[in-house]
Structure 1
Amino acid sequence: MALQSINSDSPLANLVKQKRAFVEIQDLYELLGVPRDATQDAIRASYFSLAKLLHPDVVARQADNLLQQEAAVVFKAISGAYGILSDRRRRSEYDRLHADGFAPVEDRTKRDAASEAKIFAHKGSLLMDRRAYAEADACFRKAVELDPTNASYQSDLGLAIMNNETLPLGPRMEEAKTWLEKAVELSKREKPDILFALSQYFKLKGETNAQRRLLTETLRLNNRHIGAQREVRLLAMRSRGQVDLFESIKKWFDKVSGKKK
């Protein structure tokens, strides 16, 4: 339920407005008005004190409908908060989950943005598996916007753009290269998956030497990197195939020229 505007300046209205804000951020300690190291007795006393003020029967005698509705939300919330904080196991679990959940607003905002970025990145990865590259592109762009310091998101965005055929080929390849190179720089060339992603760009561009150098770097960091091992084998097969083709052409030419080996 969204926080509604309460115009009254009565003590009850001010109390409801104050506690309603803590309902929104789910801070149970502030909701009950006790410190985080409060004893069980202090928690119980604070709860009953608030319950006497905010009980629906009490509020109904001194408030309009809007204030009654908001007070009901707060009353339900403080009852739930008491149920958790008065139970040692549930309180311990709540404290564990919110160990840093009451940091300054700026820190909390950064953490929330990073968490949201992770969700978009995960969704983008699932879309990549389904070859839904345009949708994956949009998800990774959002992840990078929310967490611009994550090299893996930038690399994944580069791959999504590179495969997004709804974009013109030339511009999309240039933008893909930009993101892939940014990711490599940001990761300080220390993440094999990011180096491998850039190697795939050079593969599509037909720049074999650049691709081979990046594959070598990838395997130096992780000699069991499956993708890099596969690409190295393909390059070797292609190289052998070119040699075999050259030998076949040479033999044919020698034959038609009447030369004997």
Structure 2
Amino acid sequence: MNLQSYNILVVDDDKSFGESVKQALTRAGFRAYVVNNPADALSYAKLQDVHALVIDCMLPKMNGLELVKKLKESLSGEPPIVLMSGIFKDKQFIKTALTKTNAVEFFTKPFDVAKLVNKLKEGFGDSDEVQQDLNPLMGLYVSRETNTRKVIRTINSCEGLHNFDLPWVFKALAQANATGHLNIACTNGDIAGVGFKDGHIVQVNIKNEASLLGILLVESGYLDRADLNKVLDESNNNKMIGQMLVDDNYVSPHAINIVLKDQLLWRLKRLIADSHMELNFVKSDDVTEIATISWEDFHSFLMEIIDTTIRQDWLKTHYLPLNQNLLISTEGMEKEFSKIKAYPFISRIFPAIESPLKRGSTLEEIVSSHPEHEGVILKVVHYLNIMGLIQFKDVQKSINLSHQTRRLQKLEAELESKNFFERLGVSRTAKETDIKKAYFDLAKVLHPDKLGHGTTAELRELAEKVFEKIQVAYDTLKKQDRKEHYLKELEVGQAEKLLQADQMLDTGRTLLLKGQYSAAKEHLDKAKDLNPDSPEIRMLCVWMEIKRKKQPTESFFKEMERQLNQIPPESRDSATYYHTRGLYCKMTGDIERAKKYFKTALNLDQTFIHSRRELSQIEGAREKTNILQADLKDVVGMLFRKK
């Protein structure tokens, strides 16, 4: 029973006895608060959730029965009430008091406080919500079920899922060779649908979807920006942009098919948002195939999403219930090794965790061996888990107290610096039911009652401190009025951050355009820390890094490409983006493509002199090369050519 989730208000003007009751309740696992007069009790009940009342009948200025009546006006539900008195011992009074207050018990002082504790435990015995099942998707982590009917039933029965769960859902439906429509209703208001055909994603529909086809065709080099502008100016609203481009011979059907797949992938990425959702999969053969996302495409999508979008605090909360389960690699990991280690965030840590995974270990043991790499380890484990390259066994290893102590110490420090939504691992748009479920899932793992026998006093005290931070977050977010007030506080802080980011951005941009790259870096890096989601800041950071780098390495090329690929397509139609893409291509030696990007930037903004300068430098370098490689007669002709 998770007694820590119940807060007991004790009201007794006998300070010594009231304190002894509080201590007994606390030792039993409850939270308890003692006051010595009715006024303090009423004030406390207005500010805090109270789940049970222990009230003395003889109080100053207001008797206990009147106080119960007043408290019920501000308390939600029907909390269990225990009355007590050392003065009123008459049987008729006790009977009347129980009837008027609907109390569960009346104790006459002195009495054994253990009986009071047991009475309250009985009162909460039927409402032990902590015993509810974990997220059914967790069961799939262990069972690896692939039966189509069972997988669909599991997905449709899930409640309180986060959008970060979607990659696992996609993979489960793919392995089950499902055909039909996955309907997604997000708490942030978005509605989406993903179509599957024999396990492959072939259709993605999102709310307020805009076609990115033209932008993606320009970026991929299949279409000039000037031609796109011309087609858009002459567009017929009854005709799709792709069909118009093919009919007018601007692009081939093959190019359209390639870019349509890219558009599907971008829509999938938009679904992996910080929101909760309800899912419903409907089997159907009537699924229109827009494009097909292959296994290779899904693999790359998964890598990028885990590396750049799914938050570390969510991963940590997500895997807490499986911390002690035996974790072991599958045969597939050996076959996929070369592909696995190719991605930067995996290659950094994979050699260190490969052996523990092969012999069988727990997530807690692996993290405890490399605490400085916890975030990367969680990302790698999540990737390997979704791809079926590791499996959590339905066996828990014995707890290592040393590992557990270090984990709780680290967790306490981390929780202190997180906001209440991050503590529970929920989005700011989470519904009351999502918040409640997240809290109880955490309670099953982190509550001090879960420590078991043989636990040290130090570890128990540490667990109580950790869970108190979880409890404070839950108490604030579970009531809508408190949640809204807290959100306003966060928004004020966020507004100040964004204002600072804008100031840093303005200064950084000015320094960048002046060629003062080191000074620009200081301001742009700060702007990115304050507002990491700003596409403009990210573009300028890539521009700045390319200009600063004198001798770029292969890993630098990959990192710059990764940063550019994270810019949402809807934010790419700008001179800054195409100029930065041009700088990247120029750095990698792809001069012809660089020229195309610089020209596209100028097509969007004819005053964008930075791209004009780059084009002039390219032409200047080409003329210089031509002079050095030409015959003497041609060189003389070039030098004395009429201007």
| TM-score calculated relative to the size of structure 1 | 0.46
Question: Which protein is richer in helix relative to its size?
Answer: 1
Question: Which protein is richer in strand relative to its size?
Answer: 2
